[in-house]
Structure 1
Amino acid sequence: MNELIRIENGEVKADSRMVAEHFGKRHDAVMRDIRDEQEKLPEEDRHIFVEIYYEDAYNRKQPAYEMTEEGLMQLAARYDAVSRRKLIVKIKELKAQNQQKQPQSQAEFIFMMAQQALEQERKLTEIQGTVQVIKDAMVPIEDDWRLEIKRMINRIALKLGGGQNEHLKIRHESYETLEKKAHANLEIRVENLQNRLMRNGASKTAIRTANKLDVIEQDPKLKEIYTGIIRQMVIKYCEGV
């Protein structure tokens, strides 16, 4: 729980996952409670809760909320008094520990400021990387559509490890998402394509190697939807690269 509640620049910061753990609640229920609190608060006070994202065990980005001490106390008021009291004690302990860590000399102060500057530079680099990923993903495909799709899939797979399993995982996820969005059965469409090729006298190799990407490329609607899906996946998995 410690890394999800911390002192940052002298201020208490907490994570909604910590709240869920501390009060013995499901994280999605805590998220709903936070949104409910936000709706009840005036616009100028909603900054005490900020939506963030973290990577789960499968490297997928999942939503959470970061909150100030005010936000933490605002939310904790919904839950039981005993756990809330333990949380208040924990915050006091963190503040006391942080006070002890404050620089005692000019040299320590300079070192601390240098560390903060490095951290800010790191965060700025991450933001710039995210912006570049989004720009790259949204570049219009004017030449070889199939080659560009493969390039983007390779980029995602490399981020996840670069192995064959990662490539298969990305393709499976992208096709599954397409089927849901377009209400299409790609397996049946591949069979239909193979039958058409057979009727038109295509070679056995052409019939055998016909695949889902062939089906998508030949259907303008599926092609447009699938391009959008792959772009979203680039942003989702490669953000900050």
Structure 2
Amino acid sequence: MKELAVLKESTMTSREIAEVTGKRHADVLRDIKDEIEKLENKGLDTERIFALSEYSDNTGRKLPQYDLTKEGVFQLAARYDAVVRFKLIERATKPKQFTKIELLQMQIESELENERLRIENEAQKEIIKGLNGDLQPYQIEDIINRVVRVGGGNYGNRYNEIYRVFKEQYHIDLKARMTNYNKTVRAKDRFKSVLKYALANDYGKDLLKVVTRLYPESVRVIMDGINQNTGLGNNEVLLLN
């Protein structure tokens, strides 16, 4: 399992590369993953030049990106034409200067990230503190379903976001696995939802970690209800580690 990494000498992000090259960010991500696969197939370490990280879009969703060192930019640039390669090398080797506004934005982003981490940590502590024994799959299902529904509509988008981040973090495509499994069994034995498939295959606690990370405020709301005896009983606990 690959965790999110931080490069000590990050030069460019995959989003900045998309901006310089005029490519879609999704296409740049695809190109980077292709480079990683080719290098790792030869036994080479790629994490020192390509580090998977995250950024928040304008809706607050956490989306994947890569942080690249100068060497990572050069490696990626080699697959592009001469003009694009020149632009990337120029950008990667040119000292980056920040305006006062950019520095202020960086400070604000840092403070927002620290606040997000604080809320996330509080949510996880609340889960651990509020329960006292192993959670059963149906209890994990109850918590996840409640968290998804706290924000009102767009349930499908929230479920899809959970499964997407789970795939990024654990390299397991739950949707694809369920689809393949359902093809091998009789209709009455097929899973009706990805969540039920995940729970039946012991991915529940890892899914709950992802949910807590994505929606810490919603988790806190649910845990408040649980602590007021509106949900789980008094003898259950979530083991996050």
- Give TM-score, length-normalised by structure 2: 0.49
Greater Rg over alpha carbons, structure: 1
Bigger RCO (CA 8 Å, 6+ sep): 2
Q: TM-score, normalised by structure 1?
A: 0.49
Report the structure, 1 or 2, having the larger helix content: 1
